[in-house]
Amino acid sequence: MQTGTVLIQSRLSFFDHSRKGGFFVLCGDPRVHSVACELLVRPLSQGCIITVLDAGNAFDPYLISRIAQALKREPREFLSRIFISRSFTCHQTHALVQKVFAGLNANRSSLILMLGLLTTFYDEEVPLGERRALFKKTLGLFKGISRKGVKVLITSTDPPVRVNGGFAALVIQAADGVARLDAGPEGGLILNVVKEIPEVGAVPK
């Protein structure tokens, strides 16, 4: 099922494909993962290489294939430029991001997509203080990656009600641009930009 990205993509000015670097977050409705995957289509069409870090088991290669076919492109053409690594614990997530940061000089990716970043950090079997410290280090690595000219896009669904670790607030604070997706009428999506990088030359309010 198409998520409605075509209708909202023109409003995603917070995530500018032409801008080098930047740390962006797409949060809210569970469909954020699908929307983020659809947003890969433009850079893939331009020949970009993309690294996907999947902490929520949310990457859908069939979605990419369907979109490629709809554009009369060979699915393998798109999928061959996507490199996927998965993590299942907060320590694995941090290690993955650390590995990406260490290999930036050899990595030709122009975009890092982190699906479900907060998922593994909600594991209450790991002490909250340990998770928060590791999460802050992980955010620092993402900021370092974005400063080197590689765009970072993170997805995050709303946390369970019982979780109260402040992780969502930390990632929003660290990000350059944040947009929130919510369910709209008739199964559509409503997008609100929460935080946006000012346009070049814009006068701060």
Residue-wise pLDDT tens digits, 104-153: 876 778 899 999 999 999 998 999 999 999 999 999 999 999 999 899 99
> Which pLDDT score is estimated for 188?
80
CATH tag, 22-195: 3.40.50.300
Comparison of pLDDT for 82 and 12, the residue scoring more: 82
Alpha helices in the chain (DSSP H): 5-8, 32-38, 41-45, 61-70, 75-79, 90-102, 128-147, 167-174
**Dist. CA 84–CA 1, nearest whole Å:** 23
* pLDDT tens track for 85-109: 999 999 999 999 999 999 887 677 8
Q: What pLDDT score does 15 carry?
A: 65
| pLDDT higher than 50, residue 77 | yes
Handedness of CA 169, 135, 179, 176 (dihedral sign): positive
Q: How confident is the model at residue 161 (pLDDT cuts 50, 70, 90)?
A: low
203 pLDDT above the threshold of 60: no
Q: What is the mean pLDDT of residues 181-196?
A: 82
Domain-wise residue ranges, the chain: 22-195
- What confidence category does residue 200 fall into, taking pLDDT thresholds of 50, 70 and 90? very low
Q: Residue 14: which pLDDT band, with cuts at 50, 70 and 90? A: low
The pLDDT, as a whole number, for residue 25 is: 93
Given this model, what pLDDT does residue 88 score? 95
pLDDT at 46 over 70: yes
pLDDT of 8: 45
Is residue 82 a contact partner of residue 37, using CB atoms and an 8 Å limit? no
**Per-residue pLDDT at 108:** 79
